[in-house]
Amino acid sequence: MFKTRLISGIVLVALAVGTVLLGGPVLLITVAFLTFVGMWELYSAVGLTGAALAEKKGIGKMNLLLGAAYVGALSYELTLFFLPERYLLVSVIFTMLLLLAVYVFTYPKFHADQVMDAFFGMAYLALPLGCLYLVRMRPGGLVIVVLIFISSWGSDTFAYCAGVLFGKHKMSPKLSPKKSVEGAIGGIVGAAGLAALYAFLMKQPIPVYMVLCAAGALISMVGDLAASGIKRDRGIKDYGFLIPGHGGILDRFDSMLFTAPVIYFLSIVFLPAGGVL
């Protein structure tokens, strides 16, 4: 199991580095793929696909409501590529209106809570992962986008090590019994340390990079716990099986759904003109 997880992790990192370096359409297609697969995993978990992944009945069927959600996600991805950022809100509103139109004109086929779940799935995946693309495509983005990975995957590694070595106080015993306060502190400190080393090597402002990654690491824990909470509510271990040893897209990218927006907005605030100092 460890060997499978390690090999998958190495391949995943290599793919991430490659797509981020290339940027542009390649990165956008990758972001869209992660978004669409992640949406399907979430919809399967909450029963919107009609298959109920939680009951181990396999993958379900697409329906009109989910089709509308995917059209909304696609419109968001296309807006990312073709239009200025100020138009992104339009695609979000379009998705909401499209889902409500399906709800109204097919009534009573779908319930209101299903419409809300469908909209949440689109917003939960498309908007945060879109920030990964937005950060990369800004001036100096090739350097700044690495902070997203440091804040999520880097902090996760340090949190695990610190938790194993020093963990005594449970952070959220009912939601995630293995996570400790000491592990959380280790993750934040570790991410800040990695950011400092990275900033030094890239000749960037060390304090700013440390603040960005510390904030990203802190919020990444919320993303991790939120994804765990949904799984516990639905009685499932993993969201999917796409990544051997890790589970599904949501199992591996849950923290990044929170770190990407944080790094995006903080980099706008702290890095002048969106560029590298």
Backbone phi, psi, residue 211, to 5°: -65, -45
What is the average pLDDT across 132-144?
Answer: 93
- Whether residue 57 is predicted with pLDDT greater than 70 in this model: the reply is no
- Whether residue 27 is predicted with pLDDT greater than 90 in this model: the reply is yes
Q: Where are the alpha helices (DSSP H) in 58-173?
A: 64-82, 88-105, 112-136, 141-144, 146-149, 155-166
Q: pLDDT per residue over 186-212, tens digit each?
A: 999 999 999 999 999 999 999 999 999
- Whether residue 69 is predicted with pLDDT greater than 50 in this model: the reply is yes
Supply the pLDDT for residue 58. 38
For residue 203, give the 3-state DSSP assignment.
Answer: coil
> Which residue would you say has higher pLDDT here, 241 or 54?
241
Backbone CA torsion sign across 91, 92, 94, 95: positive
Supply the pLDDT for residue 11. 75
What is the average pLDDT across 161-180?
Answer: 81
What is the average pLDDT across 199-226?
Answer: 93
What is the average pLDDT across 240-244?
Answer: 65
What is the average pLDDT across 74-87?
Answer: 94
Which residues does 228 contact at the CB level (< 8 Å), separation at least 6? Answer: 175, 176, 254
Q: What's the pTM?
A: 0.89
pLDDT category, 118, cuts 50, 70, 90? very high
pLDDT category, 236, cuts 50, 70, 90? confident
Where residue 33 falls (left for φ over 0; alpha for ψ -120 to 50; beta otherwise) is: alpha
Supply the pLDDT for residue 148. 95
Residue 89 · residue 102 · CB < 8 Å: no
Domain layout of the chain by residue ranges: 1-23+139-277, 24-136
**How far apart are alpha carbons 264 and 127 in whole angstroms?**
12
Residue 128 · residue 257 · CB < 8 Å: yes
